Amino acid sequence: MAYELITYEVKGKIGYITLNRPKVLNALNGALMEEVNRAIGEASCNPDVGGVIVTGSGEKAFCAGADIDELRRNSPVKGVQTALRGQQILRHIELCGMPVIAAINGHCYGGGCELAMACTLRIASDNAKMGQPEVNLGIIPGYGGTQRLPRLVGKGIALELIITGRAIGAEEAQRIGLVNKVVPQPELMAAAEEMLNTIMAKGPIAVRLCIEAVHRGMDMDLDNGLNLEAQLFGVVASTVDMKEGLNAFLEKRPASFKNE
């Protein structure tokens, strides 16, 4: 089935998902979210894809937020359904089993910021602006912003950004831990590709289990998180890739991982 509101393509081992509604600054509506969900599923089921980059079309916006025209038609029941479905899709991105990098160009607000936070890592262009401005519209974040932002930047800073609706630039976003790296806008995609290629050169099973350990462990107390880590360590100890990685280190040669 063709995509209408995003583009999805594979180059080498990288899947590229591009939000493609430039006339509305790549605003999220229900149909676009479903296409993102389908593309993530397509990428994660493709053994030739090692990771995904999510970005927005054009230089003005990664995603300016939710589609206001669609949003204003929500009833209380529909509002709950919309939020839950969006949260499910972003959780799918978070736990899809491969690294997903958000390449943030320009405006990244509301649902767009929530989408970026669900990605494994975030690289921003120097012209990026980010925030959760929902209170300016008399609403609250609904796709996980109240939960992921404090996990990334801490409770106090997250509360300030959420209840003031203040937008921040790329440098501040990096300083508080919302983004991992800031680069000049023309270098954004190259920087995302470089980071993803670095990750994909590592043991793919180990990368996948590291991501799972961090995301699931954040929802546990320390003792249960440590137990999760131990169990996943046992899983990785059964793999061909672990033996290859350790032997390659001892033999002073690059490892050749097989995802086995």
Q: Are 248 and 255 in contact (CB under 8 A)?
A: yes
From the candidates 70, 114, 171, 244, give the one annotated as an active-site residue: 114
134 classed as catalytic? yes
Q: Are 65 and 185 in contact (CB under 8 A)?
A: no
In sign, the C-alpha dihedral spanning 194, 197, 201, 204 is positive
Give the span between the Cα atoms of 192 and 105, in whole angstroms.
Answer: 12
From the candidates 134, 160, 187, 229, give the one annotated as an active-site residue: 134
Cβ neighbour number for residue 123 with a 10 Å cutoff: 30
What are the backbone angles phi and psi of residue 159, rounded to the nearest 5°?
A: -60, -45
Q: Are 99 and 121 in contact (CB under 8 A)?
A: yes
4 classed as catalytic? no
Residue with tokens 């479903």: 34
What is the rounded (10 degree) CA torsion for 246, 251, 256, 258?
A: -40
Two structure tokens written together for 227: 């137990």
> Which CA distances in Å does 186 have to 37, 105, 193, 202?
28, 10, 13, 27
Catalytic residues: 114, 134
